[in-house]
Amino acid sequence: MDEFWLLPDNGARCELLKGVVLELPPAGYEHGDLTMNVAAALKAHAQAHQLGRVVFESGFVVSRDPDTVRAPDCAFVSAERVPVPRPEKYFEGPPDLAVEVVSPGDTASDVHEKVTQWLDAGARLVWVIYPRTRTVVVYNSRKDATILRDDDTLSGEGVVPGFELPVGRIFE
């Protein structure tokens, strides 16, 4: 894990999957814009209600031996789980909420693998945003997924209490 942390910054995003470094291309402009729309709304709500922290492309250790460090596009960690001081390196364990924005090069199996890893590691909620279809798939478990469209409202449920965001606003 320390070797992964100490890799030189070559400008590429990287994740560690079962001990193997995956180099990911930089996110596209639309991807970053949609991620920021969700992250900004989440952060404003979490701060206003002192619910926890929202982070952007930060590493979370989701398994050990071999190590896996994933970085969702944005994530929420509840206040009671945020260590003091905040970790300098990777957060040990999953976020409470992981948000993934699907890129044009992502395959269905890539997305499924990430969702499964987040849920298996203990994430309580996963949102997958599909720009092409302007939909969000909400996962509470492997067996509980809901598809939301433009005129629906994304909810933080019990994970980010009181958070609501019209799905259409994500794509503005």
The three-class DSSP label of residue 43 is: helix
What residues make up the domain containing 104? 28-59+72-170
pTM confidence score = 0.89
How many Cβ atoms are within 10 Å of 73's Cβ, its own excluded? 23
Ordered alpha helix ranges (H), 22-107: 29-48
User: Tokens at residue 93, please?
Assistant: 């364990």
User: pLDDT tens digits, the chain, 172 residues: what are they?
Assistant: 566 654 556 566 655 566 666 667 678 899 999 999 999 999 999 999 999 999 998 999 999 888 888 899 999 999 999 988 988 889 999 999 999 999 988 899 999 999 999 999 999 999 999 999 999 999 999 899 999 999 999 999 999 999 999 999 999 9
Phi, psi of 103 (to 5 degrees): -90, 160
State how far the Cα of 104 lies from the Cα of 91, in Å rounded to an integer.
28
User: Residue 164: CA atoms inside 13 Å, Cβ hemisphere, count?
Assistant: 5
Any domain includes 35: yes
Any domain includes 124: yes
Domain harbouring 123, CATH code: 3.90.1570.10
Counting the structural domains of the chain, the total is 1
